[in-house]
Amino acid sequence: MNPFSLEGKAALVTGANTGLGQGIAVALAKAGADIAVAGFIPPDETGTMVKAAGRRFVSVNANLMTVEPVGRIVAETVKGLGRLDILVNNAGIIRRADSLEFSEKDWDDVMNVNIKALFFMSQAAGREMVKRGSGKIINIASMLSFQGGIRVPSYTASKSGVAGITRLLANEWAAKNINVNAIAPGYMATDNTAQLRRDEARAKEILARIPAGRWGAPSDVGGTAVFLASPAADYLHGAIIPVDGGWLAR
């Protein structure tokens, strides 16, 4: 049996209409998983790509600015796919401003999506996984789970929190046969970094520090997600895996 196969599994990916979430959803589908996605932007392109891989696809419309829809998201996933084996907490937002000027709204919006919704999605999925006796939860952390960054105070706080919650849930749920781990993407060419990439001076500084010599692509994260979701990672708990082109090695 292929230890990296996800045949017969069902995965839920939040924020998968584009970018990293889309790359992860498609990679999981190509490894054999049926896919549900949750978000408030229609994931039409992702659905087409998942179906092209021969897998079933369910879309749940939900806004993760609040935790109200998390129970419904899990219920609709189980109803549509018959089970829930894998959760990828990918949905996230970023707001940029100097810390002296940073607003309470920008703090609350980012924290609500990036850490509060992530925890309660994990809780809702974890309850379902405990019933089944197994499960994989993959959180999307960041380089700013390790570093401070600049001009993104709520994002840094939230992603530091993702690292902590990943370890906490791993401690609590490993004995229940639920693996909780995280991927920490480096600087990826996605919507979240569009403003950075438009800043020629800052983009040049960032690129000069990446040993791989390029910004990452969503497909670069897909293989790590497949690994963490697969039986090959059954003894991995509480890990935060950088996929960063060597950024942290500098």
Are 16 and 64 spatial neighbours (Cβ–Cβ below 8 Å)? no
Which amino acid is present at 139?
N
Q: 11 in helix, strand or coil?
A: strand
Asked if 12 contacts 64 with a C-beta cutoff of 8 angstroms, the reply is no
Collapse the DSSP code of 182 into the 3-class scheme (helix H, G, I; strand E, B; otherwise coil) and give the result. Answer: strand
* Backbone φ and ψ of 63, nearest 5°: -110, 115
Residue 237 tokens, joined: 């708990």
Token couple for 245: 């082109």
Contacts of 143 (CB under 8 A, 6+ apart): 149, 184, 185, 186, 187, 242, 244, 247, 248
Under DSSP, is residue 97 helix (H, G, I), strand (E, B) or coil? Answer: coil
Give me 228's structure tokens.
């963490």
The answer to whether 155 is a known catalytic residue is yes
Set 57, 119, 155, 247: catalytic member = 155
Q: How many CA atoms lie within 13 A of 7 on its CB side?
A: 4
Question: Catalytic amino acids?
Answer: 155
